[in-house]
Structure 1
């Protein structure tokens, strides 16, 4: 075996090791991206459900408020004191119900609390979406790095190894951004 053949074989082992390391980081990036995407979808469903509940409370409140306004108009025409007292009691009950639907801190199911919870779920969804975007860029860079490193073995062009290593560093950097500071960098 010549010295030149041994050098090529030793270089190929280093490139193979680089490919293995890149593949390891790619696996982490793909797993992080899948988790972030799943979380983003879950928070999106949560936000949608909360906004639907908010809308239902709004509709119910509007219906009861409208019925109360109609009952209030009918009160002037009532002459029977017992009937008038019952209508006033009903009207007061409806007003309390509408007020409770506006804000229910005990249950977290008033319109005010539902809107805050929905906005919080949207913020979590957006955060996870950003993580997913960064993991996607990371995975793309790592996949390209693996292909280019593999090409360097076939072609024997040493510069491709450096390009692959650079893309690998870029991929790992985006993976770190996704994991630790996804809101710091805006891609799209």
Structure 2
């Protein structure tokens, strides 16, 4: 009868630990990829928020310049109308016609500035809405990054200690971080204390 060699229990345990270590290491690499994707989303959300804020500020400044020009023309028109009323009867027909022409031209300019400022206001409000969307996204990316970094640390500890419990905690941290990261991209739900 052939002799059957039984495997050494220490070797089996070492093989089992090696398999666990490889799995955790591979999973940790996946965590790092998720962290990179989350970090990219967070950086982009922040850049887009700042860019939209700057562009909306520029639009509001442009809007304000239109408003100021409109008021300037309105003031000039009122002054000319007052001058026409005050000196109207004593003016020559040519001077009166000159005043009326000026009042008409200034009134047209006032109207033009009034019309021109409306699309600028619309664009500024659109940029503000874009800024707010990106502002809403940013906290989700921030918390997701923290949770994914914690998951990487926990999985490293799991490798060193061969602890399946610590590895399970890293998986939970990754799951929550991944959901928050996905929400940063899509804004599926809102968590009030994050805003």
| TM-score, scaled to structure 1 | 0.90
1:149-175 superposed Cα distances (whole Å, 9 cap, x missing partner): 111222333211111001111111111
Matched, 1:98 2:107: no
Q: Secondary structure at the match of 2:108?
A: helix
Matched, 1:12 2:21: yes
Match of 1:39 in 2: 48
Partner residue of 2:143 out of 137, 149, 161: 137
Q: Please give the residue correspondences for 1:102-181 in structure 2 after superposition, counting only pairs within 5 Å.
A: 102-103=114-115, 110-181=116-187
Calculate the aligned-residue CA RMSD, in Å: 1.4
* In structure 1, distance between residues paired with 2:161 and 2:64: 63
Which consecutive segments of 4 or more residues in structure 1 shift more than 4 A? none
**Runs of 5+ in structure 2 lacking a partner?**
1-9
Match of 2:72 in 1: 63
- How many residue pairs were aligned? 181
| TM-score, scaled to structure 2 | 0.87
Match of 2:97 in 1: 85
Decide which structure has greater helix share. Answer: 2
Look at both structures and tell me which one has the larger radius of gyration over its CA atoms. Answer: 2
* In structure 2, distance between residues paired with 1:98 and 1:161: 70
Q: Is the 8 A contact 2:57 2:124 kept in 1?
A: yes
